[in-house]
Amino acid sequence: MTLWLNAGIIFTLLAIVVILLKWGNVVCVGVTPVRLFTFIAILFTSGLDVGLIMFPLTEFGGYANLKANPEYAFTNPMAIEFGYWGFLIWGFYFVTCFYFCVVEPKVKFFEIPVVKLINNVVIIGTCAFTAFLLLSNLPWYLPAIGDGESIIPTFYFIVFAAICFAVYSSTDIKYVRLLSISTTWLFIALIALMWAGAFLGSDSQIAAFTHNLEMIGSYFGNLEDFVLPLNKYHEFYLFWWFAWSIMIGQFTSRFVGGLKTYQVLGAMLIFPSIPIAVWFSVIYQYHEAGIPTAGLKNFAMAFVGVVFVINSLDSLIRLYTDNLNLTVKRLGKFGYIALNVVTLSLLTLLFKLEFLQIQWVGALVIGLFFSCAIFIAYSKPKTVKNIDSSPKDNEIDFSKIDSAD
C-alpha cells in the first residue's frame, strides 16, 4: 500500500506541474460560478471535517514524543500538524478541481459506466466514513455527556441528526452558499473564543501565540519531508486526503468563478492554510500550557465540528445523487430524504463494524487517477491537447447559485 500511495503522490505533483505549464493562464469557470470569498468558504468547509477541530489536541503529544516517534525529530509538533492538514496537501484538491472544471467536460472519462459506478462507490463510502468518524469520536469530544469512552444513544442521535440536516440542505443549491459562509464565520468565532481563553490578559501569552505561528515556518523549511509518508499514521492521513480529493474537486469545480488556473492553485494552497495555521497556533497553547477545555469551549468545539461534518456530507450527497440521477426532481422531496438518510445511516454502521476502511477508498481513488491518465493517453490525446478554455456554456454569472435547480 505504501508503494501505491507514493506513486499516487508523485503522479499528483507531476500533474500539477503539467497543468500549470499547459493551462496556467486558462480562465476557469464552473457551471455555477460564485465570488472568491464564497468559493473559498465552500472549499474550506466542504474539504474539512471535525478532525480539524478536535484531533490536534490529541496529536501534539505524539508528535513531540521522539522516543516513540523518532521520524518526527526533524521539526516540531506544530509543523508536523500543519503538514498533515495544510498547504501542499490541498494540491490534491486543485488537480481534481481543475480536471472536472476544464478537462472532464471534453474527455467524459467519468461518464464511462464502470468508472461512474466506482466514483459513486467512493463518494458514498467516504460520506459514510465521515459520519462514522464523528460517531466514533463523540465520546471524547463530549465527555460531559457520557463516560468519555462508550458510544451512548445520544451520540447516535447527534450523528443521525447531522445526516438528516445534511440531506435536507442538499435538496436545494441555494443552501450551499448559506451553509458554507455561515460555517466559515462560525469557525472564525470559535478561533476568537479559544484565542481569548488562551492568550488574553498577558503580554507573554500573546508572545506565545506569535511563537506558535513561527513554529509552522519549519514546515516550509522542510517541505520535501512531507511529500511522502513519514509513517503509517501519515499514510492514513494521505489516503484520507486522496479519498476526499476526487469528490471535493468535483464539487468545488462547479463554483470556480473566473480565476485563472494558477490563481485557483494559489487560492487552494494559501487561503485554507491561513485559518488552519491560526487555529493550530491557538489550540497548541492549550496543549502546552495545560489549559482545560471543559465546559463551554468543549461544547463550542464539538458544535463547530458537527457543522463541518454537515457541510462535508452536504457536498458529497449532492455529488452522488446528481451522478446517479437520484434527485429531488425525480424522487420527490420525501423520497429523496428517506433514501439518503437510510443509506448513509446503514453505511455508517458498517464502518463501525470495521467492514470498510478509508485507506481502501483512498487506494481506489489513486487507481482512478492512473486509469484516467491512461484513458487520455490512448483515447483522447488530441482532445486534451486542443483544450484551451472552460466549456463555452459556462459563463460568469454569480446569480446562478440563487436560481439553479
Could you read off the pLDDT of 99-125 as tens digits, one per residue?
Answer: 999 999 999 999 999 999 999 888 888
pTM here is: 0.91
pLDDT score, position 79? 96
Distance CA 268, CA 201 (A): 35
Q: Report how many helices (DSSP H) and strands (DSSP E) the chain contains, helices first.
A: 19, 2
Considering the domain boundaries, does residue 402 fall inside one? no
Contact yes or no for 243/122 (Cβ under 8 A): yes
User: What is the percentage of the chain residues whose pLDDT exceeds 90?
Assistant: 65
pLDDT score, position 54? 84
pLDDT score, position 354? 64
CA dihedral sign, ordered 107, 111, 117, 123: positive
Distance CA 405, CA 389 (A): 25
Considering the domain boundaries, does residue 317 fall inside one? yes
Considering the domain boundaries, does residue 80 fall inside one? yes
Contact yes or no for 252/45 (Cβ under 8 A): no
Domains contained in the chain, number: 1
Dihedral pair phi/psi, residue 343, rounded to 5°: -60, -50
Dihedral pair phi/psi, residue 257, rounded to 5°: -115, 45
Considering the domain boundaries, does residue 259 fall inside one? no
Considering the domain boundaries, does residue 131 fall inside one? yes
Place of cell 481502501: 360
* pLDDT at position 39 over 80: yes
Contact yes or no for 30/253 (Cβ under 8 A): yes
pLDDT digits (tens, 9 = 90+) for 41-50: 999 988 787 7
- Confidence tier at 356 by pLDDT (50, 70, 90): low
Contact yes or no for 317/120 (Cβ under 8 A): no
Considering the domain boundaries, does residue 69 fall inside one? yes
Domain that holds residue 335: 38-97+115-246+272-364
The DSSP symbol for 389 reads S
Considering the domain boundaries, does residue 290 fall inside one? yes
- Of residues 15 and 140, more confidence is placed in 15
**Across all residues in the chain, what is the average pLDDT?**
90
Nine-digit cell string for 399: 446569480
Considering the domain boundaries, does residue 12 fall inside one? no
- Confidence tier at 355 by pLDDT (50, 70, 90): low
Over range 138-165, report the average pLDDT. Answer: 87
pLDDT score, position 16? 97
* pLDDT at position 270 over 70: yes
- Confidence tier at 127 by pLDDT (50, 70, 90): confident
The DSSP symbol for 226 reads G
Over range 299-322, report the average pLDDT. Answer: 90
pLDDT digits (tens, 9 = 90+) for 193-220: 999 988 886 555 788 899 999 999 999 9
